[in-house]
Amino acid sequence: MLIYKLINKVCAFLIVAISLLFAKQALAVCPVCVIAVGAGVGLSRWLGIDDTITGLWIGGLIISLIIWTEKWFDKKNIKFKAKIAIITLVYYLLIIVPLFFTGILGNPKNKILCFCHFYLDKLLLGIIVGSFTLWFSINLYSYLKEKNNGRSYFPFQKVVMPILLLIILSIIFYYLTK
């Protein structure tokens, strides 16, 4: 059984890694990133991976969708007050509220000790950390590109950096929640 789970996890990782090789164009937060994050969420739930890891990918997906939607509004020249705040609130509510009402989020058996005697839902912790990680990696990419005269250091850097950071955190969370 353990070998079967390991083979599934390796295959899932290879599918995501190979899909990155066929990425065509990297946009602000490209569709390949969003698809890779979405695939990561589905695969992690299907493989029975801990909810902190699933939450990382959900958080990354939410940030990707927020930025993608903002760029779409800008491209269509749609402007309104507090655009980013409203988009952010809508996406977090669209994801978190259904998870809460279906019992996936807020389950008392699905808590993790974060700070002294403070418990947090594993999925919510993952969403928070994953959101921050993707936001940080996007800003880090922009900073590195600016330092390199507007050029990436390697092909598909914009895609690799966020996904790589989420993979690294997934591995760390895997060993922390064992």
pLDDT in tens, 91-144: 999 888 888 887 778 888 888 877 777 888 888 999 999 999 999 999 999 999
Residue 64 near residue 138, CB atoms below 8 Å = no
Is 123 part of a structural domain of the chain?
Answer: yes
In a domain, 22, yes or no: no
Residue 128 lies in a domain: yes
Other C-beta atoms lying within 10 Å of the C-beta of residue 57: 29
φ, ψ (nearest 5 deg) of residue 148: -105, 35
Q: Are 127 and 100 in contact (CB under 8 A)?
A: no
Number of domains observed in the structure of the chain: 1
Residue 163 inside a domain? The answer is: yes
Residue 89 structure tokens: 């609130």
- Residue that has been written with the tokens 């353990």 in this structure: 2
Give the pLDDT of residue 26. Answer: 44
Within-domain flag for 26: no
Which pLDDT does position 36 carry in this prediction?
62
Q: Which domain holds residue 43?
A: 33-176
CA 118 to chain centre: 24
11 part of a folded domain: no
